[in-house]
Amino acid sequence: MNRRTFVGACSAILASCRKPSRIRLALNWKPDPQFGGFYAAPYSKHGLDVEILPGGAGTPTVQMIGAGSAEYGVISGDELVVARSRGNDVVALFAVFQNCPQGIMAHASRHLASIGDVVKEGTLAIQRGLPYARILEKKYGFDHVKVVPSPGGDISAFLRDEEFAQQCFVMSEPLQARHAGVDVTVFPVSDLGYNPYTTVLATSGAQLKGDPDHAKAVVAAVREGWRTYLNDPGSTNTRMHELNPSMDAATFAEVAEAQKPFIEQEDLGVMTADRWTTLIGQLAELGDIPQVFAAQDCFRNL
Amino acid sequence: MKRFLPPLIPFVAITLALEFAVRSGLVAGYLVPAPSAVFRALLDSRDELAAAMAKTSAAALIGFALSTLAGITIAVLLSSSRAIQRAFYPYAVFFQTVPVIAIAPLLVIWFGYGMKTVIAAAFIVSIFPVIANTLTGLLSTDPALRDLFRLYGASPGVTLVKLRFPAALPQILTGLRVASGLAVIGAIVGEFIGGSGLGSVVDVARTQQRVDKVFAAVLLASVLGLGLFGLINVVSAVTLRHWHASEQQ
C-alpha cells in the first residue's frame, strides 16, 4: 500500500465513522399510512440521521419549523401559505398527497347527492377555522345545519346519529364507519374547487439556504421511501403499527392501499406553481392572507 | 391606588418588553404576538369575543356554583363519620385525577353538544378542591370549643351550623379560590369539544394561525378567572373580617 492509497483509505474510514448530524422531522399526527414513505425512507443511505417526531391533535408543526425546534416538518399546503403571509418563512419540498384526501362523510341512507346537501339539515362536525369549512359556509350557508366541533378521528357520535355528518380523511373515518356496519357517502372537499397539497414536507427558508444539499438529500430519501412504500407497504406498516398500536394491522394495510390514487404520479412529490397560485388566490379571497404573493416562494422541487 | 399600583408595574413592564421584543424582531410575531396585535384583535373581533365571553362566563359560573354546592354538601357528609369518609373519600379523589380532555367526548355523548357539556366539564374539574378544603376545615374545629358545645348539650346540627361550618370558612374559601380558576379552565376545555364560547374562538383562531386572537381570547378567559377570584375575595372579606387574621390588617 503506497502512501496515497493509505491516506485515501484512512479518510474513507473517517468519513464513514463521522456521524451525520441528527435532524428532526416533525409529523402532525401519529404514525399512520399517510406518513408511510417517511418511515420507509433510507435516510442513512443518503448520509442522513433523521429522528421522526410523531405528533397529535393540534401539533403546531408549522410553528416548530419556523422556531427551529424541528428542521423539517409535515404540514398542509394552506397552512404553509398562511404561515408565509405571517412572516414564517417555510418552504414546501415534497407534496405527498397530490389530491386533497379530506372530505365530509354522511350516512348513505340520507341519499345526499352533493356536498351542498350536507349543510341542508342535521348536524355537521367540522373545524370552523379550516379554509374549506369557510368555503362551504360561504357557498351554501350554515343556517339550516347545526355546526359542532370536529371530534378528531372519533366516529361514535356519527354512528349514533343518522343525521350527523363529519369532516374526515377520505381513506380513514369512512373505513372505520363501514367496519362498524354503517354505509357512508363521502364528498371530497375538492368538490368545492378547493384542492391544496397535503401532507407536505417543508423546511424553513433559512435551513434550505444554509444547506441546500442537505435538503436535496432529504427529499431524495423521502421520494425513495414513498416509492418503496407504494410498492410494498408491509414491513413499514409493521414498524408503524408498533409505534401506533391503536390502529390495527388490517387497517394499516387497507388505508395504505386506499390512499395510493391520491399520491401516485410519475415524479412523486413534485408540485406546480399553478396549483400554489390557485391556493393563494383562494386564501386571499377568504381573507386568510392580506394579499396574494408569488407562488414561487412557497415551494422548491428538488 | 396603593393596592392597584404593585400589580400594575409588572403588567406594564412585561407588556412593554414583549412589544419591544416583537417589534425589534427578537421574537417572531407568529410565535408570540405583540401586545398591540392582541389589543387590535380584541377591538376587531369585539362582538364575537363579547358573545363568546358571555357564554363561557355563564357556563363557568354555573359549573362553579354547582361544584360549590355539591362540594360542600359532600364534605359535610364525609365529615359526619370516619366510616363514610374511609368509604367514599377515595372516590372524591377521582374527580381530581380525571383527565377532562380525555372524557370530554363522552360528555358530548351524555349531555349533547352545547352548554350542558361545558357546565359538566367545569363542574368536574372544580369540585375536588372544594371537597378537600371543606373537609379539612370541618375536621379541624378547635376541640375545646367542641367540648364546650357538647357540655351545653348542642345537637350535631347546631354544632355544624354554629361552630364547625363557620370555623371552616377560611379553608372553604381557599378551596373556592382554587376552584374558581379551575372552573374557567374546565369550561374552555369543554368548549373545545362541546362547541361555543371562548374555547371555540381559541380553536378556530388556532387553526387559522391567528396567535393574536388566541391570546385575546386567553386574556378574556383570565379576566373571567380574575373576576370569579375577586368575587370570592369579597365574600371572604365580608365573612371573615371580624374574626380571622387573614382578613384583618
Tell me the three cell numbers of residue A278: 390557485
Nearest to B109 among A87, A123, A156 (CB): A156
Q: Is A154 on the interface with B (CB under 8 A)?
A: yes
Contacts of A82 in chain B (CB under 8 A): 208-209
Work out the average pLDDT over B208-220: 92
Give pLDDT, residue A3: 54
Q: Cβ–Cβ of B30/A83 closer than 8 Å?
A: yes
Q: Cβ–Cβ of A288/B208 closer than 8 Å?
A: yes
What are the two backbone dihedrals, phi and then psi, of residue A103, each rounded to the nearest 5 degrees?
-160, -175
Q: Strand, helix or coil at A198?
A: strand
Instruction: Round to whole Å and give the CA distance between A130 and B205.
Output: 10
Give pLDDT, residue B136: 93
Contacts of A67 in chain B (CB under 8 A): 28, 31
Fold classified for A20-98+196-297: D-Maltodextrin-Binding Protein; domain 2 (3.40.190)
Contacts of B193 in chain A (CB under 8 A): 149, 151
Work out the average pLDDT over B125-136: 94
Give pLDDT, residue B188: 94
Instruction: Round to whole Å and give the CA distance between B225 and A110.
Output: 45
pLDDT tier at A2 (50, 70, 90 boundaries)? Answer: low
Contacts of B192 in chain A (CB under 8 A): 149
Work out the average pLDDT over A38-66: 92
Give pLDDT, residue B72: 96
Is the model's pLDDT at B50 over the cut of 80?
Answer: yes
For CA atoms A137, A138, A143, A144, give the dihedral sign. negative
Q: Is A85 on the interface with B (CB under 8 A)?
A: no
Q: Is A66 on the interface with B (CB under 8 A)?
A: yes
Is the model's pLDDT at A57 over the cut of 80?
Answer: no
Give pLDDT, residue A37: 97
Give pLDDT, residue A252: 93
Give pLDDT, residue A270: 97
pLDDT tier at B2 (50, 70, 90 boundaries)? Answer: confident
Mean pLDDT lowest among A269-283, B122-136, B195-209: B195-209
Q: Cβ–Cβ of B204/A288 closer than 8 Å?
A: no
Give pLDDT, residue B189: 92
Provide the pairing of β-strand A72-75 with A22-26: parallel
Is the model's pLDDT at B70 over the cut of 60?
Answer: yes
Nearest to B30 among A87, A151, A160 (CB): A87
Work out the average pLDDT over B66-73: 96
pLDDT > 90 fraction of chain A, expressed in percent and rounded = 80
Q: Strand, helix or coil at B85?
A: helix
Min Cα–Cα distance to chain B from A127, Å: 7
Residue type, B207: T
Give pLDDT, residue B95: 76
Is the model's pLDDT at A72 over the cut of 60?
Answer: yes
Q: Is B97 on the interface with A (CB under 8 A)?
A: no
Give pLDDT, residue B97: 82
Domain boundaries, chain A: 20-98+196-297, 102-192
Contacts of B115 in chain A (CB under 8 A): none
Report chain A's mean pLDDT, rounded to a whole number: 91
- Pairs from A236-239 (Cβ < 8 Å, separation ≥ 24): A236/A36, A236/A39, A236/A40, A237/A33, A237/A36, A239/A39
pLDDT tier at A1 (50, 70, 90 boundaries)? Answer: very low
Give pLDDT, residue A12: 47
Instruction: Round to whole Å and give the CA distance between A40 and A222.
Output: 8
Report chain B's mean pLDDT, rounded to a whole number: 91
Is the model's pLDDT at B138 over the cut of 90?
Answer: yes
Mean pLDDT lowest among A90-99, A272-281, B112-121: B112-121
Domain boundaries, chain B: 49-241
Is the model's pLDDT at B129 over the cut of 50?
Answer: yes
A59, A62, A128, A286, best to mutate vs chain B, most B CBs in 10 Å: A128
Work out the average pLDDT over B119-143: 94
Q: Is A290 on the interface with B (CB under 8 A)?
A: no
Is the model's pLDDT at B247 over the cut of 80?
Answer: no
Query: Which comes out higher in pLDDT, residue B4 or A93?
Result: A93
Work out the average pLDDT over B219-247: 90
Q: Is B146 on the interface with A (CB under 8 A)?
A: no
pLDDT > 70 fraction of chain A, expressed in percent and rounded = 93
Nearest to A82 among B192, B195, B209 (CB): B209
Give pLDDT, residue B249: 61
Contacts of B194 in chain A (CB under 8 A): 148-149
Work out the average pLDDT over A185-194: 94
Nearest to B203 among A66, A129, A160 (CB): A129
**CATH classification code of A102-192:** 3.40.190.10
Give pLDDT, residue B1: 62
Q: Cβ–Cβ of B204/A67 closer than 8 Å?
A: no
Could you write out the DSSP letters of every residue in B197-241? HHHHHHHHHHHTT-HHHHHHHHHHHHHHHHHHHHHHHHHHHHHHT
Q: Convert the pLDDT of each residue in A233-267 to its tens digit.
A: 999 999 999 999 988 899 899 999 999 999 999 89
The complex scores an ipTM of 0.71
Q: Cβ–Cβ of A149/B195 closer than 8 Å?
A: yes
Instruction: Round to whole Å and give the CA distance between A200 and A75.
Output: 5
Min Cα–Cα distance to chain A from B113, Å: 7
Is the model's pLDDT at A17 over the cut of 50?
Answer: no
Q: Which CATH superfamily is domain B49-241 in?
A: MetI-like (1.10.3720.10)
Q: Cβ–Cβ of A127/B29 closer than 8 Å?
A: no
Instruction: Round to whole Å and give the CA distance between B40 and A1.
Output: 74
